[in-house]
Amino acid sequence: MAKLPVTLEQLTESFGPHLARSTGNRLETGIEPDSVVKTHCCFCGQQCGIQLKVKDNQVIGFEPWEDFPFNRGMLCPKGVKRYLQGAHPDRLVTALKRDPSHPSGFSPMPYAEAIDRVATEIKRIQAVHGRDAFALLSGASLTTEKAYLMGKFARVALKTANIDYNGRLCMVSAGAGNKKAFGIDRAANPWSDMLKTDVVWISGANVAECAPITTNYVWQAREHGAKIIVVDPRITPVARTCDLFLPIKPGRDIALFNGILHLMIENDWLDHDFIQNSTVGFEAVAEHVKQWTPKFTAKVTGIAEKSIRQAAEWWGTAKTSFLMHARGIEHHSHGVQNVLGAINIVLASGRIGRENCGYATITGQGNGQGGREHGQKCDQLPGGRDISNPEHRAYIAKVWDVSPDDLPQAGVDAYEIFRKIDKGEIRGLLSLCFNPKVSLPDNAFVTKALEKLEFYVAIDFFLNETAHHADIVLPGSLHEEDEGIVTQIEGRVIKINKVIDPPGEARQDWRIIQDIARQMGAEKGFTFASPQEMLDELRIASKGGVADYSGITYEKVERQHGVFWPCPSDDHPGTPRLFEPGSWNPIAKGTGPFYFPDGKARFVVAGYTPPTEDVDTEYPIILTTGRVISHFLSGSQTRRIGPLVDQYPEPRVEMHPRLAEKLGIANGDLTTVESRRGNCTLKAHVVTTIRPDTVFIPYHWAGRQSANQLTISAQDPISKIPEYKVCAVKVFKARD
Amino acid sequence: MPVPEHMEFFIDPNRCIGCQSCVQACGECDTHKGHPMIHLEYVDRAISVQTTPVVCMHCNTPTCAEVCPADAIKVTEDGVVQTARKPRCIACSNCVLACPFGVPKMKTEFELMMKCDMCYDRTSVGKKPMCATVCPSQALFFGTREEIEQIRPRSVSNNRFQFGQQVITTKVNMLFPKDNPIQHLNVTDAMNEQPVDQSFTLEMLMDAIGI
């Protein structure tokens, strides 16, 4: 049984979150570091370059890395304080086993014994209940080498179909939409293409708080005359100085994009040559958007008609432009449709694949891009290959020296894994770099499912809230304790360098995975001695695929300050900008720049449907969720870093004064937000910077402070992303 | 080595995103680890996300030094106004009260006034101040006047301020928009006046549930 071994209070007392602050060497002034290592931040998809100062195998501080071209020394507060995650009192330094008789709920055990127990349980569960009864949950903060290994471990060592990753909560709507329209899933342009553009369109992206360095690119564009259009239900810091703010009602993004396309067609703000020569499907989309008159669009989106007309005119008449979006339009049960709507207005403008003309989705996690390309996704094999495609299966089977028939077919997505656990179809779980008890929606259900597991092993460096349920915990590695590549927000592959050794019994996650494979008697293919060896195999595995890394080496990455994939050969410099006229790709083979056999991009009809759970008389207010700048994702790391917690100590529920007044709530009042799935009581933050029909709660906290007690597990039918950005709630002053 | 004269500090509050990177990074400085010397304030969070960072303006005739009864606040030859000298500071807080920009902080645990000294340990060896290096939106910028004119063509810089009868010129520059001052943005201004999706308005809902 995977119920909590002791009370949550006892677990918290032993395993935190406790707050790390600068003490000892880290507070000493004038200390001479043993080394200063160039690497990258462990948090978001921007992967800012940073130098870490090391003394006695401890990171004691940082120094800006001004030569790295993306951020040139700039860092957000998470990057500045990231070093405090090392030598942390909560750090796991031994293997642990669940032990209800121990005051902490867990007792230390020898590492080898723990590996043996894990291998035995995997084999037992698979023998009794079938191979797919053991599932793996992985993460997009892992290096690409580790992500690759996890996919291979699932398919070759465990032969289970059921592996998925936390990119399911992040990039999948954008990825699916991009593949449908372009045949490839990657930001189409380097950020430098933003700097000299006429219009920057930002939909559903709190750029200043979630991708802070990007703010400088946006505002630098503005200095040189770009108009900035921001679409968001909240006035975020980047919206504050925009030229046009469209306060959209959550869940109505397709309607806006369709309305914009309607006006582009009506006013003939179209690139006819591009549409004719480089795309297919425009007629059907044009027909579909006829109904999206400005008046109808205003009615559905909640945006004033004059603002919609202004946005269409600026977008329609621009000579150059850059459109970006993030989870704000993607975290929906129609997230893929939203993305396709955005792409349609880009394609109609013809402004893509050229200097200063771009389109990008803003990747959230550290390796959000690379982590979704090489096989830890339930339906995918390395190189962005499709697990259901016989040719792709055959190629990878050959690289892995197994029979294609032995490769499992597609498994289910991360949320469906929990539904299968609940139904008893999945009995065992291994997790690495994923904290679903905090990060998945309707987390009361997730907790219930965790309690049903026969066996759960968690690999982590801190005991996160999900790992509280584990039978065995294996002590993994911090970002700075391993090396490998990740692919950042622009599609640039960069190198994480090892800065220190893991403490105690802790070790690199890839070693742990290989130890389990060996103990299971599945050692073949899991004898890598270094990340370099894994990369060498990954280069072959990705060769000829859409996500082709075959020409990427550590040496080239370091020399060039990153290599943009695709990079299909040793002498290839990489591809900063996709879709340039005349460019070659392995699908189109020269017929055109897009990744389809005819080389043409696809217009896809994006039909509007309301959110799965719309407001009604019982639950009349929209809840939307998101991030704050000083925390990251489930907070497993940032809730342990004192200065970041000081900056934003607890979640608050943000609401407009007009709503607050009707509800009789004053700023700071304890306020209960209740959905059909649960309730959450937090202090009210009354501000005019949010739509009056919407409340906002940041999602980084656990337990009774968790926003995901409220959110709905509705998912996009294609991408399977959950609908974090809109559900229906009632809000009232907390009862005493 | 003094701070090179052509390297100047510019503050552009219009660009501030309130992220506190400057505050967090200032506390990492080798000379005052753990004690950030930057203030970051919301102007009025109830109505705007506008924030503004405040570093020492390094006045040409620093009021803090003028009012110091112990002569503890020294100015370097390159015009950087320094934290109070520990042996001299009597922790009287005259400087804290007198500074027109509200910069100095009295650290009672050390009985010492501490304030931004433009990262003297960094700027005097050719590096940029920590805050201006990390600032993600470059609301804090350290560089030459030519650079700032090139990258901020919409702004004009100023280093002359009037407080009542007192006129102060400063080493640090503030950037202001040249024209088209930013209008205050209001969510409801840009909303459709009839939010009638699903055929009822929020008001009607409120009535229906008796709020």
A181 lies within 8 A of chain B by CB = no
Interface probe with A: pick from B130, B137, B154, most Cβ of A within 10 Å: B137
* pLDDT confidence bin for A30, thresholds 50/70/90: confident
In this complex, which of A79, A240, A303 lies closest to B49 when CB atoms are compared? A240
The tokens describing A65, both together, are 């890395």
Kindly tell me if the per-residue pLDDT of A75 is higher than 70: yes
Q: Do B24 and A249 touch (CB under 8 A)?
A: no
A75 to chain B: which residues are within 8 Å by CB?
Answer: 21, 25, 134, 136
A522-571 residue pLDDT tens: 999 999 999 999 999 999 999 999 999 999 999 999 999 999 999 999 99
A237 lies within 8 A of chain B by CB = yes
Type of residue found at B201: T
pLDDT for the residue numbered B32: 83
Q: Do A223 and B130 touch (CB under 8 A)?
A: no
Q: Do A80 and B134 touch (CB under 8 A)?
A: yes
The whole-model pTM stands at 0.96
CA distance to partner chain B, nearest, from residue A300 (Å):
5
CA distance to partner chain B, nearest, from residue A396 (Å):
42
A164-208 residue pLDDT tens: 999 999 999 999 999 999 999 999 999 999 999 999 999 999 999
| Mean pLDDT of all residues in B160-176 | 93
A213 lies within 8 A of chain B by CB = yes
In this complex, which of A74, A656, A692 lies closest to B136 when CB atoms are compared? A74
pLDDT for the residue numbered B150: 96
B191 to chain A: which residues are within 8 Å by CB?
Answer: 247, 302-304, 691
A299 to chain B: which residues are within 8 Å by CB?
Answer: 192, 194, 196-197
Type of residue found at A510: W
Kindly tell me if the per-residue pLDDT of B29 is higher than 90: no
Q: Is A336 helix (H, G, I), strand (E, B) or coil?
A: helix
Q: How far apart are CA B5 and CA B144, in angstroms?
A: 9
Kindly tell me if the per-residue pLDDT of A150 is higher than 80: yes
How long a stretch of residues is chain B?
A: 211
CA distance to partner chain A, nearest, from residue B63 (Å):
30
Q: How far apart are CA A489 and CA A484, in angstroms?
A: 17
B172-209 residue pLDDT tens: 999 998 876 556 678 888 887 544 443 334 444 444 44
* Angle (nearest 5°) at CA A690 between A713 and A292: 70
Q: How far apart are CA A152 and CA A156, in angstroms?
A: 6
pLDDT for the residue numbered B198: 38
A61 to chain B: which residues are within 8 Å by CB?
Answer: 28
Using alpha carbons, list the distances in angstroms from residue A23 to A3, A28, A84, A87.
Answer: 36, 8, 10, 11
How long a stretch of residues is chain A?
A: 736
A706-720 residue pLDDT tens: 999 999 999 999 999
pLDDT for the residue numbered A23: 86
A140 lies within 8 A of chain B by CB = no
Q: Which residues pair with A55 in a beta bridge?
A: A58
The kind and range of the H/E element at B11 are strand B8-11
Q: How far apart are CA B31 and CA B129, in angstroms?
A: 12
Kindly tell me if the per-residue pLDDT of B71 is higher than 90: yes
A66 lies within 8 A of chain B by CB = yes
A311 lies within 8 A of chain B by CB = no
| Mean pLDDT of all residues in A708-733 | 98
Q: How far apart are CA A658 and CA B60, in angstroms?
A: 47
Kindly tell me if the per-residue pLDDT of A462 is higher than 50: yes
Q: Is A567 helix (H, G, I), strand (E, B) or coil?
A: coil
What is the average pLDDT score of chain A? 97
Kindly tell me if the per-residue pLDDT of B211 is higher than 80: no
Kindly tell me if the per-residue pLDDT of A442 is higher than 50: yes
DSSP string covering A374-433: SS-STTEEGGGEETT-HHHHHHHHHHHTS-GGGS------HHHHHHHHHTTS--EEEEES
| Mean pLDDT of all residues in A70-81 | 98
Q: Do B21 and A80 touch (CB under 8 A)?
A: yes
| Mean pLDDT of all residues in A429-447 | 97
| Mean pLDDT of all residues in A259-280 | 98
A511-522 residue pLDDT tens: 999 999 999 999
Q: Do B49 and A223 touch (CB under 8 A)?
A: no
* pLDDT confidence bin for A82, thresholds 50/70/90: very high
In this complex, which of B17, B48, B198 lies closest to A215 when CB atoms are compared? B17
Kindly tell me if the per-residue pLDDT of A454 is higher than 90: yes
pLDDT for the residue numbered A204: 98
* pLDDT confidence bin for B31, thresholds 50/70/90: confident
* Angle (nearest 5°) at CA B39 between B33 and B41: 145
A642 lies within 8 A of chain B by CB = no
| Mean pLDDT of all residues in A420-443 | 98
In this complex, which of A75, A238, A730 lies closest to B21 when CB atoms are compared? A75
- Reference A306, options A258, A259, A261; nearest CA is A259
pLDDT for the residue numbered B208: 43
Mind spelling out the 3-state secondary structure of A232-272?
CCECCHHHHCCCEEECCCCCCHHHHHHHHHHHHHHCCCCCH
CA distance to partner chain A, nearest, from residue B164 (Å):
30
A560-580 residue pLDDT tens: 999 999 999 999 999 999 999
| Mean pLDDT of all residues in A266-273 | 98
pLDDT for the residue numbered B209: 43
Kindly tell me if the per-residue pLDDT of B97 is higher than 90: yes
Q: Do B191 and A304 touch (CB under 8 A)?
A: yes
B209 to chain A: which residues are within 8 Å by CB?
Answer: 617-618, 620, 730
| Mean pLDDT of all residues in A150-156 | 98
Q: How far apart are CA A474 and CA A457, in angstroms?
A: 7
pLDDT for the residue numbered A29: 77
| Mean pLDDT of all residues in B18-43 | 91
| Mean pLDDT of all residues in A71-85 | 97
Q: Which residues pair with A682 in a beta bridge?
A: A671
* pLDDT confidence bin for B210, thresholds 50/70/90: very low
Q: Do B133 and A239 touch (CB under 8 A)?
A: no
Q: Do B192 and A302 touch (CB under 8 A)?
A: yes
pLDDT for the residue numbered A1: 52
A658-691 residue pLDDT tens: 999 999 999 999 999 999 999 999 999 999 999 9
In this complex, which of B33, B205, B209 lies closest to A27 when CB atoms are compared? B33
